[in-house]
A and B are shown apart, each in its own frame.
Chain A
Amino acid sequence: MTVTTKTELTDAEKRIDAVDDVTYGDIVWGQFKKNKVAYWSLWGVGTLFLLAIVAPIIASARPFVWTVESGTTYPWFSSLFDRNYYENGVDIFFNLLLVLGTPMFIGWMIWKKNLHKKIEKKRPRRRMVVLVATSLTTLLFGVFAGMLFHESMSLFPGWIILAGCFGLGVKVLAAKRQVVIGLLAGALLAIIFSPILKGTLFVGAILAIIGLTYKSRPIVIPVVALIGLLLGSIFHPVSQEYVVYSDAQSALEEAGEPVESIFPVVPYSFRGTGFNPLEGPTPEHIFGIDQSTRDVGVRVLFGTRISLTIGFIAVAIYVTLGIIIGASAGFYGGKVDLAVQRVIEVVMCIPSFFLILTVIALVGKPSIFMIMATIGLVRWTGVARLVRGEFLRLRNQDFVTAAQALGFPTSRIIFQHVLPNALGPVLVAAAFGVASAILLESSLAFLGLGDLSAPSWGQTLQEGYSSGAWHLILIPGFTIFFTVLLLNLVGEGVRDAMDPKMRK
Chain B
Amino acid sequence: MGKYIIKRILLMVPTFFAISLLIFVVMRLAPGKPGADLAAGGEATQDAQVGTQNEAYTLFKQQFSLDKPVLLNFRFLLGEDEVQETLSAAIDLSGETEPGLQIESKDILSDWGDFAVPGLINVLQTSEDPTMRSASSKWLASNARQRLLFLYDRDSTTEDRTADREREQHNQMISAWTFEEDATQQSVAAVTDSWANYYEVNQERWTYSTIEKLNTLFIDTQFSKYWSNLLRLDFGVSHLDKRPVLDKMMEKLSYSMVLSISTIFLIYLFSVPLGIWSAVNHNTISDRVMTIFLFILYSLPSFWVGAMLLNFLTRGTPFAVLPTSGFSSLDTSQMTTLAYMKDIAWHCILPIICMTYAGLAALSRYARTGLLDVIRSDYVRTARAKGVSEGIVIIKHAARNGMIPLLTLMATLLPALIGGSVVIEFIFGIPGIGQWMFQSIQLRDYNVVMAVLLISSVLTLIGMLLADLAYALVDPRISFE
A interface residues with partner B (beta carbon < 8 Å): 342, 345-355, 357-359, 361-364, 435, 439, 442-443, 446-447, 458, 461, 464-465, 468, 470, 473-474, 477-478, 480-481, 484-485, 488-489, 492
CB B426 to nearest CB in A, in angstroms, measures 6
Cβ-defined contact, A349 with B301, below 8 A: no
- Cβ of B22 under 8 Å from chain A: yes
Is A349 a contact of B423 with CB atoms below 8 Å?
A: no
A358 to chain B, nearest CB (A): 6
Q: Is B293 on the interface with A (CB-CB < 8 A)?
A: no
CB-based closest 9 A-B pairs? A362-B30, A353-B419, A477-B304, A351-B419, A485-B299, A361-B441, A351-B415, A349-B457, A465-B307
Q: Give A345 to B18 CA distance when docked, in angstroms.
A: 10
Binds A, one of B184-192, B230-238, B380-388, B448-456: B448-456
Contact A350 B456 (CB under 8 A): yes
Q: Does B244 contact A (CB under 8 A)?
A: no
A481 to B416, CA, bound (A): 20
B22/A346 in contact, CB under 8 A: yes
Is A488 a contact of B27 with CB atoms below 8 Å?
A: no
Return B70 CB to nearest CB of chain A, in Å: 14
Given the known interface contacts A364-B31, A439-B301, A465-B307, the answer about A345 and B15 at a Cβ–Cβ threshold of 8 Å is yes
Known: A351-B456, A359-B26. 13 other contacts (CB 8 A): A346-B18, A351-B460, A353-B420, A354-B422, A354-B452, A361-B441, A362-B444, A435-B299, A465-B310, A468-B311, A468-B315, A477-B307, A480-B304
Q: Is the CB of B300 within 8 A of A443?
A: no
Rounded to whole angstroms, the CA-CA distance of A359 and B449 in the bound complex is: 11
**B residues less than 8 Å from A442 (CB atoms):** 301, 303
- A239 CB, nearest partner CB in chain B, Å: 27
The 8 Å CB contact of A461, one of B15, B307, B419, is: B307
Q: Which residues of A contact B415 (CB under 8 A)?
A: 349, 351
| Shortest Cβ gap from B346 to chain A (Å) | 21
Contact A350 B453 (CB under 8 A): yes
* Chain A residues within an 8 Å CB radius of B30: 358-359, 362-363
Q: Is the beta-carbon distance between A357 and B427 smaller than 8 angstroms?
A: no
Task: Tell me which residues across on chain B come within 8 A of A489, comparing CB atoms.
Answer: 295
Q: How far is the CA of A345 from the CA of B457 in the complex (A)?
A: 11
How far does the Cβ of B430 sit from chain A's closest Cβ, in whole Å? Answer: 15
The reply on B438 being an interface residue by CB < 8 A is: yes
**Residue of A351, A362, A477, A481 touching B31 (CB-CB under 8 A):** A362
**Which residues on the A side are within 8 Å of B26 (C-beta)?**
355, 358-359
Question: Which residues 293-337 of B have a CB within 8 angstroms of A?
Answer: 295-296, 298-301, 303-304, 307-308, 310-312, 315, 317
B355 within 8 Å of A (CB atoms) = no
Interface flags, B129-150, vs A, CB<8A=1, else 0: 0000000000000000000000
* CB pair B27 A362 closer than 8 Å: yes
Given A481-B300, A484-B301, CB of A354 within 8 Å of CB of B456: yes
Q: A222 CA to B197 CA in the complex, in Å?
A: 81
The answer to whether the Cβ of B32 comes within 8 Å of any Cβ in the partner chain is yes
Q: Is the CB–CB distance between A485 and B27 below 8 Å?
A: no
Q: Is the CB of A353 within 8 A of B422?
A: yes
Please state if B419 and A354 are interface contacts (CB–CB under 8 Å): yes
> When the two chains form their complex, are residues B22 and A342 in contact, meaning their CB atoms are under 8 A apart?
no
For residue A362, which residues in chain B have a CB less than 8 angstroms away from its CB? 27, 30-32, 441, 444
Least CB separation from B22: chain A residue? A346
A323 to nearest B CB, angstroms?
Answer: 22
Q: With the chains together, A458 CA to B307 CA distance in Å?
A: 11
Number of interface residues of B (CB under 8 A): 47
B19 within 8 A of A: yes
**Chain B neighbourhood of A474, CB < 8 A:** 308
B residues in contact with A473, CB < 8 Å: 304, 307-308, 311
Contacts of A478 in B (CB 8 A): 304
Residues on A with beta carbons closer than 8 Å to the beta carbon of B456: 350-351, 354
Tell me, in angstroms, the Cα distance from A361 to B438 when the chains sit together.
9
A364 surroundings in chain B (CB, below 8 A):
31-32
Which residue of A342, A345, A357, A470 is within 8 Å of B422 (Cβ)?
A: A357
CA distance in complex: A478, B452 (Å): 33
Whether A351 lies near B416 (C-beta < 8 A) is yes
Q: How far is the CA of A347 from the CA of B461 in the complex (A)?
A: 11
Docked Cα-Cα span, A488 to B23, in Å, equals: 32
Chain B interface mostly? helix
Q: Shortest Cβ distance from B460 into chain A, in angstroms?
A: 5
| 24 A-B interface contacts by CB (under 8 A) | A342-B15, A342-B18, A346-B18, A349-B457, A351-B415, A353-B419, A355-B453, A357-B441, A358-B26, A362-B444, A364-B32, A442-B303, A443-B301, A443-B303, A446-B303, A446-B423, A447-B422, A464-B307, A465-B427, A473-B311, A484-B301, A488-B298, A489-B295, A492-B295
Judge whether A484 and B438 touch: CB under 8 Å: no
Complex Cα spacing A477 to B307, Å:
9
Given A362-B32, A461-B307, A481-B301, are A349 and B19 neighbors across the interface (CB < 8 Å)?
yes
Given contacts A354-B452, A364-B31, contact A349 B15 (CB under 8 A): yes
CB < 8 Å neighbour of B19 from A346, A481, A492: A346
Interface presence of B437 (CB below 8 A): yes
- Of B18, B299, B442, B457, the residue contacting A484 (CB under 8 A) is B299
Q: Is the CB of A361 within 8 A of B442?
A: yes
Q: Any chain A CB within 8 A of the CB of B418? A: yes
Q: How far is the CA of A484 from the CA of B358 in the complex (A)?
A: 13
Q: Which chain B residue shows the least CB distance to A477?
A: B304
Whether the Cβ atoms of B308 and A477 lie closer than 8 Å is yes
User: In the assembled complex, which residues on chain A have CB atoms less than 8 Å from the CB atom of B453?
Assistant: 350-351, 354-355, 358
B311 to chain A, nearest CB (A): 6
**CA A442 to CA B306, docked complex, whole Å:** 14
The residue in A355, A358, A364, A461 that gathers the most chain B C-beta atoms within 10 A of its C-beta is: A358
Q: Which residues of B contact A485 (CB under 8 A)?
A: 295-296, 299
Smallest CB–CB gap between A331 and chain B, Å?
A: 23
Tell me the complex Cα distance, A439–B15, Å: 29
Question: A490 to chain B: closest CB distance in Å?
Answer: 12
Q: A351-B418, A358-B449 are in contact. Are A346 and B15 (CB under 8 A)?
A: yes
Closest to A501 in B: B373
For A466, give the chain B residue with the smallest CB separation. Answer: B307
Q: With A and B bound together, what is the CA distance between A492 and B368 in angstroms?
A: 15
Contacts of B19 in A (CB 8 A): 346, 349-350
The closest CB in chain B to the CB of A348 belongs to B460
Contact B22 A470 (CB under 8 A): no
Q: Determine how close the nearest CB of chain A comes to the CB of B419; give it in whole angstroms.
A: 3
Residue of A nearest to B420 (CB): A353
Mark out the residues of chain B between 4 and 33 whose CB falls within 8 Å of any chain A CB in the assembled complex: 15, 18-19, 22-23, 26-27, 30-32
Bound complex: CA of A67 vs CA of B3, how far in Å?
85
A439 CA to B358 CA, complexed, in Å: 13
B304: which of A342, A346, A355, A481 is its contact (CB, 8 Å)? A481
A91 nearest CB across to chain B (Å)? 24
Contacts of B308 in A (CB 8 A): 473-474, 477
Q: Which residues of A contact B464 (CB under 8 A)?
A: 349
- How far apart sit A475 and B31, CA to CA, in the bound complex (Å)? 35
| In contact, B301 and A477 (Cβ under 8 angstroms) | yes
In the bound assembly, the distance between CA atoms of A500 and B458 in angstroms comes to 39
Instruction: List residues of chain B with CB within 8 A of the CB of A348.
Output: 460
Least CB distance, B91 to chain A, in whole angstroms: 29
List the B residue with the shortest CB-CB distance to A476: B304
* B13 CB, nearest partner CB in chain A, Å: 12
Q: Is the CB of A349 within 8 A of B461?
A: yes
Nearest A residue to B17, CB-CB? A346
Q: Considering the chains assembled together, what is the distance between the CA atoms of A127 and B457 in angstroms?
A: 65
Minimal Cβ-Cβ distance residue in A for B458: A349
Closest-CB distance, A356 to chain B (whole angstroms) = 9
Determine the residue in chain A with the shortest Cβ distance to B292. A37
Contact yes or no, B295 A357, CB < 8 A: no
Determine if B438 and A357 form an interchain contact, defined as CB atoms under 8 angstroms apart: yes
> In the bound complex, what is the Cα–Cα distance between A220 and B27 (angstroms)?
46
* Chain B residues whose C-beta falls within 8 Å of the C-beta of A488 in the assembled complex: 295, 298-299
Q: Which A residues touch B420, using CB under 8 A?
A: 353
CA distance A485 to B464 in the complex (A): 30
By beta carbon, the residue of chain B nearest A485 is B299
